[in-house]
Amino acid sequence: MEGVILSAAKNPGESLTVTCRTDSRSGLRRFANQQSIPRQSVTVTATTWVAAALVIAALSPPALIRHGEPLAAVSMLAFFSKLCHQRADRTLYLLGSPTAVCLRCLGIYAGAALGGFLPLSRKTALRWLSVALIVNILDVAAESIGLHGNLPLLRLLIGAALGAGAGALLAGSLECEVGACETRF
């Protein structure tokens, strides 16, 4: 590739312009493609695609095992072992095999993917994230002292609330980085 040119507009209503050219030596025809993409789409896409990729990767080990790719499944489990405790009693089982993360982490990733679509101001997203974090901490503490046992659905849902707050806050922060904060408050 000769290059990719990205230019961000300074005013909230303007678009982001992307230009891409390929190298003619690679055998591909030379082309230039200009496309206008609304800034909010870029922000939501960045937040959402990363979180969605984590959800898909976390759910992939059972399918990989079923399709005869145990090495790929073990690789996913090893990658996520750095991010999650992967306790068997707290993990979702699909097709007879465990997913790569516990239900709370799966909820956080899925919530973050959906949170990018929430039209929340940074202040509201921060409040949401704070409340969800407190609820998650209280759940861990309540289980640790024996007030309740393993509640998988609750763990998934409050993890999703935490992820949604983080996704909404991140999407709002990314917009502010390119100058569109005033439209979110």
- Structure confidence by residue, pLDDT tens digits, 162-175: 999 999 998 876 55
183 falls within a domain: no
- The domain tally of the chain equals 2
Tell me: the pLDDT tens digits for 65-87? Answer: 999 999 999 999 999 999 999 99
Whether residues 169 and 127 fall in one domain: yes
Whether residues 76 and 143 fall in one domain: yes
| Type of residue numbered 43 | T
- Asked whether the predicted pLDDT for residue 14 surpasses 60, the reply is no
Smallest CA-to-CA distance from 126 within 55, 176, 76, 73 is with: 176
User: Would you state the pLDDT for residue 130?
Assistant: 97
Rounded to the nearest 10°, the torsion over CA 138, 141, 147, 148 is: 80
Whether residues 24 and 95 fall in one domain: no
180 falls within a domain: no
Whether residues 14 and 64 fall in one domain: no
162 falls within a domain: yes
Compute the distance between CA of residue 104 and CA of residue 154 in angstroms, rounded to an integer. Answer: 9
- Asked whether the predicted pLDDT for residue 179 surpasses 60, the reply is no
Smallest CA-to-CA distance from 109 within 52, 177, 39 is with: 52
Whether residues 7 and 75 fall in one domain: no
The residue with greater pLDDT, 184 or 150, is 150
Q: In terms of DSSP bridges, do strands 32-38 and 15-21 run parallel, antiparallel, or are they unpaired? A: antiparallel
Whether residues 74 and 15 fall in one domain: no
Sign of the Cα torsion 11, 43, 162, 153 reads positive
110 falls within a domain: yes
Task: Kindly state the average pLDDT of the residues 100-109.
Answer: 97
Whether residues 48 and 133 fall in one domain: yes
Task: Give the model's confidence band at 112: pLDDT under 50 very low, under 70 low, under 90 confident, else very high.
Answer: very high
Lowest mean pLDDT among 41-50, 73-82, 128-137: 41-50
Please say whether the beta carbons of 48 and 167 come within 8 A.
yes
Lowest mean pLDDT among 14-28, 30-44, 69-83, 97-111: 14-28
3-state secondary structure of 94: strand
Which ranges of 67-149 would DSSP assign to H, the alpha helix?
A: 70-81, 103-115, 122-144
Whether residues 34 and 50 fall in one domain: no
C-alpha Rg value of the chain to the nearest Å: 20
- Read off φ and ψ for residue 4, nearest 5 degrees: -125, 130
Whether residues 102 and 117 fall in one domain: yes
Whether residues 78 and 145 fall in one domain: yes
* Structural domain that includes position 76: 42-175
181 falls within a domain: no
Whether residues 47 and 12 fall in one domain: no
Whether residues 127 and 106 fall in one domain: yes
User: Would you state the pLDDT for residue 46?
Assistant: 77
